[in-house]
Structure 1
Amino acid sequence: MTARSLLTATLFFALTAAPPALADTWEETLSRADGSTVYWNAWGGDERTNAFIAWVGDEVAERYGVTLRHVKLADTGEAVTRVLAEKAAGKDSGGSVDLIWINGANFLSMKEQGLLHGPFSESLPNYAYVDTTDKPSNVVDFTVPVDGMESPWRMAQIVFAYDTARLSEVPKSIPAFLDWAAHHRGRFAHPNVRDFLGATFLKQALYELAPDPADLQQPATDETFDTVTAPLWAWYDELRPLLWRGGEQFPDSGPAARQLLDDAEIDLTISFDPAEPAGWIAAGLAPDTVRAYTLDGGTIGNTSFVAIPYNAANPDGAKVVANFLLEPATQARAQDIRVLGSFSVLDMDKLDADQRQAFLDLPTAPALPSNEELGIVLLEPHPTWMTRIVDEWTRRYTR
């Protein structure tokens, strides 16, 4: 055999042998996962999301013998703190957290402190369907490279929700909020900034008000934070007294703000899920006159991930759950406005005809914006901006 023939044979063997090796590895993962219990620490503040996670638990139990326990969190930081405490105590295996719904500052913290298991996401069979080109937030989390340490499962983008029965005009830019709020005093509410949605509203404002939005893609420092955010606080000082209850009280969360909209206490609020207003209507949680829109200059969008702590008791079971979340049928169910309405992290061009059809068959609704209507998607700022904004807002506006 010539050297060239030997090289060709070697390459052929490597290419044809790789898939069975991957399959054998995944089969071993499935075998080890069978009979395990996975404690998924995930935000528990939304009934529809809680119901979806319960459905995931039923499916992975039936298919793979994995028991899924939803540990409901008010703040993802609770789980991060728990893992950090276990590391400090020397508990490097058998940890209490197997899977975390995570992104942004919490991901950066865990990555920097060596609290993550992996890389693992690209070894999941269903990761092959993920859109890593046109959805850059699937591989870059708040400017931080994912590096396989977390697996995407749903996408989000800021929309504003309003009741067309009470409003004919809405603010289409952050500066326009001041004039609009002056003419609609008390009719807009954002969640408390200590809630991620409230903090995201201020990040959205900062995008339009910062002297150079490119600064937001770099870590915030003492010097840059004060300079870049100065216009934000000047704007917010004017807006705050025009908010619901004079800006002295804030709804605790997105669902609490939605309840105010349903009760006609406000006419306009914010969501980080483009399909959420349509979901509210379908579930009877908002009047059917509610609609969603974005700002003319675009709105912030990101990807939600799941990550496995370095000391997880059942990392194989966690991988099975993460892989199931990427299954095309699961993604289609999650995008159904009757279920979650979460926009998919998958690349439709990577799906076969039947898999694509499942998305095409999903119901539509007047309150569901199209991809064109969502407009420009702005990348999340570096996580340090969010943490500093929350701290500064708390210092300035709470007693």
Structure 2
Amino acid sequence: MPTAHAITAPARITSSSTNGRIQRRRGTLLPASRPTWGEVGSGTWQSSLDRGTRAAPGGPCELNGVRTTVPRTCARLLVGSWAVVLALAGCGGPDPAATGPELDPTDWPAVLAAAQGQRLDWYMYTGDDAINGVVQDYVAPRLAELGVTLNVVSVAATADAVNKVLAERQAGLTGSGTVDAIWINGPNFATGKQADLWYCGYPQALPNAQFVDADDPAVAADFGVPVEGCEAAWQRANSALVYDSAELAEADVASLTALTDWAQANPGRFTYPAPPDFTGSLAVRTFLYDTVQDPELLAGGFDEATFAEYADPLWARLNALEPDLWRAGQTYPTSQEAVEQLYATGEISAFFSYGPGTVAQKVTDGVFPATTREAVPSIGNIGNVSFLAIPRDARDRAAALVLANLLQDPATQLRFYADGGIYPVIDLARTPADVQQGFAAVPLSPSVLPLAELTANVQPELDAGYVSAVDDGWTASVLQK
């Protein structure tokens, strides 16, 4: 990854004294603020939903008449409105497929011609410096060469973007929506699919789809939800436990039981972000896998009885760990960025990451100590795929298709891997020899696990129903206990 970027990870600061941390206050979470983005490169970057969203950075936001100052709660309020939204989606309005721009994704020259001069509004999480750097330095210029201007709209929670698509659907903006593409996966994709928000049927028509194994279970299903041609894969993620080998031995990270034993002997040196932060939720889901022990029991769709059986032991385990967390568990970081900052400053010695490939650059840059290493606990690690969803009502659909294809280009995949440590979603066996040689030539830092070790015992992401149950259950049974 480039050693310097014009963009940096957005700070989430709960107050002048809490620096990105969540604190208990009568069972609530303190709000987090986030900065706006300036114009960079050949495209532009905007603050979260700055066109038409009733939210001020760090202040209260409103959705369907409900106001909150809790970070990401506006996104979660969306869940409570789905019954109304789905009912409206089923009413006798115009069919976006009929009123939207006519475009045949199998006619790629026509797609490229239609994309000329379009401004692509890509709604995405911008808290990852590695991804930001590649998007700014490589993706945006490549799109510009194809006549497309990239405008990245930063979102703190993907559900905010989905809610904007819903609002525009209700407002009748069929074929003229302002959200052209969303970096998405998991429950947000599932909810949008249920509401019939996504443009479908195009992924296999992309010229670079030849390099993607559509039958790969992680590509064919998104958190247990069949993709069915309604989103295009563009990167793969695997979790890992990152630790300072000067403080922890390999035996201390061999299992989650060993990790919690180490935390008990070294109080305050481990923590995780509060769910529904994505990585915080990942940490809790990893503990769920470890509590259940048999991954097959969690396979398939959400099973309420199975979750109920293991929920109490899970919460008991996390509550027992809590006094040994950073600040005795009375304060949880609000974001993964905050957790990594704690590690960088030496306040903690271990954390979960869904971006282990980015660790090497942070060691090289002197952000993380040279003794940083990675491990996969005995239960395994969780892996998933990130997708690009195109709303059915997208105004610049052709430009969005061009982006989806560019992200699957082997050259783009190699750039993400070499510069950002982002793992490829393409099947390297399907690529030309020079591409495979390019991937093999990327130097591997001793801080980072080889890809074969990282993927040797990967557990699939749980069904979206489990994710929601974990997030809600953690808040009720751990944070607010």
Q: Scaled by the length of structure 1, what TM-score is found?
A: 0.90
Report the secondary structure of 1:310's partner residue: coil
Question: Is the 2:179–2:394 Cα contact (8 Å) retained in structure 1?
Answer: yes
CA RMSD of aligned residues (A): 1.8
Q: Does 1:106 align with 2:200?
A: no
- Distance of 1:266 and 1:234 partners within structure 2: 23
Instruction: Point out where structure 1 has 5 or more consecutive residues left out of the alignment.
Output: 1-21
- Distance of 1:143 and 1:385 partners within structure 2: 10
Q: Does 1:383 align with 2:476?
A: no
Question: Is the 2:273–2:279 Cα contact (8 Å) retained in structure 1?
Answer: yes
Report the equivalent of 1:86: 168
Q: Does 1:248 align with 2:338?
A: no
- Distance of 1:60 and 1:103 partners within structure 2: 24
- Counterpart of 1:43 in structure 2: which amino acid? Y
- Counterpart of 1:289 in structure 2: which amino acid? T
- Distance of 1:300 and 1:332 partners within structure 2: 23
Question: Is the 1:116–1:310 Cα contact (8 Å) retained in structure 2?
Answer: yes
What are the equivalent positions in structure 2 for 1:316-395 lying under 5 Å apart? 316-336=398-418, 339-374=419-454, 375-395=456-476
- Structure scoring higher RCO (CA < 8 A, sep ≥ 6) equals 1
- Distance of 1:308 and 1:159 partners within structure 2: 30
The offset of 1:221, in angstroms, is: 5.2
Q: 1:279 aligns with which of 361, 380, 385?
A: 361
Question: Is the 1:210–1:231 Cα contact (8 Å) retained in structure 2?
Answer: no
State the percentage of identical aligned residues: 36
The offset of 1:23, in angstroms, is: 9.6
Q: What is the count of residue pairs matched by the alignment?
A: 375
Report the equivalent of 1:267: 349
CA deviation vs aligned residue, 1:316-349 (integer Å, no higher than 9, x gap): 100101100111111001011xx21011111111
What are the equivalent positions in structure 2 for 1:178-327 lying under 5 Å apart? 178-210=260-292, 212-220=294-302, 222-327=304-409
Q: Does 1:165 align with 2:246?
A: yes
Question: Is the 2:121–2:179 Cα contact (8 Å) retained in structure 1?
Answer: yes
Question: Is the 2:417–2:423 Cα contact (8 Å) retained in structure 1?
Answer: yes
- Distance of 2:197 and 2:185 partners within structure 1: 14
The offset of 1:258, in angstroms, is: 1.1
Q: 1:117 aligns with which of 194, 199, 209?
A: 199
Report the equivalent of 1:8: none
Report the equivalent of 2:147: 65
CA deviation vs aligned residue, 1:368-392 (integer Å, no higher than 9, x gap): 2113321211011101111111112
Which structure is higher in helix share?
A: 1
Question: Is the 2:293–2:379 Cα contact (8 Å) retained in structure 1?
Answer: no
Q: 1:150 aligns with which of 231, 239, 258?
A: 231
Report the secondary structure of 1:279's partner residue: helix
Question: Is the 1:173–1:295 Cα contact (8 Å) retained in structure 2?
Answer: yes
- Distance of 1:177 and 1:237 partners within structure 2: 15
- Distance of 1:97 and 1:150 partners within structure 2: 15
- Counterpart of 2:166 in structure 1: which amino acid? L
- Counterpart of 1:209 in structure 2: which amino acid? T
Report the equivalent of 2:81: none
Report the secondary structure of 1:156's partner residue: strand
Report the secondary structure of 2:356's partner residue: coil
- Distance of 1:24 and 1:260 partners within structure 2: 49
The offset of 1:274, in angstroms, is: 2.6
Report the equivalent of 2:84: none
- Distance of 2:364 and 2:217 partners within structure 1: 31
- Distance of 1:56 and 1:387 partners within structure 2: 35
The offset of 1:82, in angstroms, is: 0.7
Report the secondary structure of 1:250's partner residue: strand
Report the equivalent of 2:210: 128
The offset of 1:238, in angstroms, is: 0.6
Report the equivalent of 1:6: none
Report the equivalent of 1:29: 111
- Distance of 2:429 and 2:314 partners within structure 1: 41
CA deviation vs aligned residue, 1:173-204 (integer Å, no higher than 9, x gap): 22333312111111111112120100011111
Report the equivalent of 1:15: none
Report the equivalent of 1:5: none
Report the secondary structure of 1:343's partner residue: coil
CA deviation vs aligned residue, 1:55-91 (integer Å, no higher than 9, x gap): 2443234321101111011111110111111122222
- Counterpart of 1:190 in structure 2: which amino acid? Y
Report the equivalent of 2:222: 141
Report the secondary structure of 1:160's partner residue: strand
- Distance of 1:325 and 1:243 partners within structure 2: 39
Question: Is the 1:308–1:315 Cα contact (8 Å) retained in structure 2?
Answer: yes
Question: Is the 1:60–1:321 Cα contact (8 Å) retained in structure 2?
Answer: no
The offset of 1:282, in angstroms, is: 2.5
Q: Which deviates more from structure 2 when the two are superposed, residues 238-247 or residues 222-231?
A: 222-231
Change in 2 beyond 3 A, CA 1:58/1:240? same
Question: Is the 1:57–1:69 Cα contact (8 Å) retained in structure 2?
Answer: no
- Counterpart of 1:37 in structure 2: which amino acid? R
Structure number with larger C-alpha Rg: 1
